[in-house]
């Protein structure tokens, strides 16, 4: 069974840094496109970043220059390093596999990041 | 950047009724559109991809149609577990940017 499990969320002060992890089982992270999607409290879904199997990375304008997506093939784990965090980065962060180059499936259960002083 | 507009924002229906949800793109996305369901407190799940293909394990009461700029998700007969928020999504060609619509909440009338 394919499963994604996020971790690393928590309360962080504005300007701080946090790294989220997404451990995968049942498939190989490095062979798939992988992405992060976030959801602010009570709001809709917002795509954050994607990493292609070849290693290319892309970001939403809202996080470009502050967030970095990476993966550890030996641990079969996806990461996102979040720097210079702002209140508007407060959200549940989901990792997801990207199928057919376009669609998110499956999704992890999400991890909550709260940016507040 | 392609904008996806979903309507209505909220749909109030009774179990057993038919639900029709709309997603309109600001420019043509051909058939490259997906639908997701998000129940309260849960992660989204893929329902429909490529506008009309049901994802694995999705019941036949869910169907998608449309191409170009106008798309529809239809739930033929609402089950209690179908009351949720539904999002459409597309990916632009280059650079790859993934966009979601604002969502439609299907609530019990």
Mean residue pLDDT across chain B: 97
Residue % of chain A over a pLDDT of 90: 98
Q: Give residue-wise pLDDT tens across range A12-67.
A: 999 999 999 999 999 999 999 999 999 999 999 999 999 999 999 999 999 999 99
> Are B49 and A100 an interchain contact pair (Cβ–Cβ within 8 Å)?
yes
pLDDT at site A114:
98
Q: What is the pLDDT of residue A70?
A: 98
B49, A46: Cβ pair inside 8 Å? Answer: no
- DSSP 8-state assignment for residue B43: -
CA distance B77 to chain A (A): 25
Nearest to B102 by CA among B7, B19, B30: B7
Give chain B's count of helices (H) and strands (E): 0, 11
Residues of B whose CB is below 8 A from A107: 43-45
**B36: chain A residues, CB-CB within 8 Å:** 45, 104
Q: In chain A, which residue's Cα lies nearest the Cα of B51?
A: A103
Banded model confidence at residue B7, pLDDT cuts 50, 70, 90: very high
If pLDDT is split at 50, 70 and 90, which confidence band does B93 have? confident
Q: Output A72-75 pairs: Cβ under 8 A, ≥24 positions apart.
A: A73/A29, A73/A30, A75/A23
Residue of B nearest to A94 (CA): B43
Q: Is A30 exposed, middle or buried (0-12, 13-18, 19+ CB in 10 A)?
A: middle
Q: What is the pLDDT of residues B42-79, one digit of tens each?
A: 999 999 999 999 999 999 999 999 999 999 999 999 99
Q: What is the pLDDT of residue A2?
A: 92
Contacts of B99 in chain A (CB under 8 A): 47
Q: Measured between CA atoms, how close is B71 to chain A, in angstroms?
A: 16
Cross-chain Cβ contact B100/A47 below 8 Å: yes
Q: Residue B82: pLDDT above 90?
A: yes
Parallel, antiparallel or unpaired: strands A3-7 and A57-59: unpaired
- A47 CA to chain B: closest CA distance, Å? 6
Nearest neighbour of B55 by CB, restricted to A60, A105, A108: A105
Mean pLDDT of A82-103: 97
Interchain CB distance below 8 Å, B101 and A108: no
Burial A76-106 (b: 16+ CB within 10 A, else e): bbbbbebeebeeebbbbbbbbbbbeebbbbb
Report CA A94 to chain centroid distance, whole Å: 6
- Can you give the pLDDT at residue A75? 97
Cβ <8 Å between A44 and B103: yes
């Amino acid at each position: 069974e394919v499963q994604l499990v996020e971790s690393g969320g928590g309360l962080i002060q504005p300007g701080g840094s946090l790294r989220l992890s997404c451990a995968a089982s049942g498939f190989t992270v490095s062979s798939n496109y992988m992405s992060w999607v976030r959801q602010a409290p009570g709001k809709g879904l917002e795509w954050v970043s994607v990493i292609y199997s070849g290693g290319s990375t892309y970001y939403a304008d809202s996080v470009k220059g502050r967030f970095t997506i990476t993966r550890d093939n030996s641990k079969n784990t996806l990461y996102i390093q979040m720097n210079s965090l702002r209140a508007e980065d407060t959200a549940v962060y989901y990792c997801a596999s990207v199928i057919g180059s376009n669609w998110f499936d499956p999704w992890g259960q999400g991890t909550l990041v709260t940016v507040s002083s | 950047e392609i904008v996806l507009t979903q309507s209505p924002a909220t749909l109030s229906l009774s179990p057993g009724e038919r639900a029709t949800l709309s997603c309109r793109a600001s420019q043509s996305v051909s058939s490259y559109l997906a639908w997701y369901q998000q129940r309260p407190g849960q992660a989204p799940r893929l329902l429909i991809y490529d506008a009309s293909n049901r994802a694995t394990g999705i019941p036949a009461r869910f169907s998608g149609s449309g191409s170009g700029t106008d798309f529809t998700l239809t739930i033929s007969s609402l089950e209690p577990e179908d009351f949720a928020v539904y999002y459409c999504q597309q990916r632009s060609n280059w650079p790859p940017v993934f966009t979601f619509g604002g969502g439609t909440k299907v609530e019990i009338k």
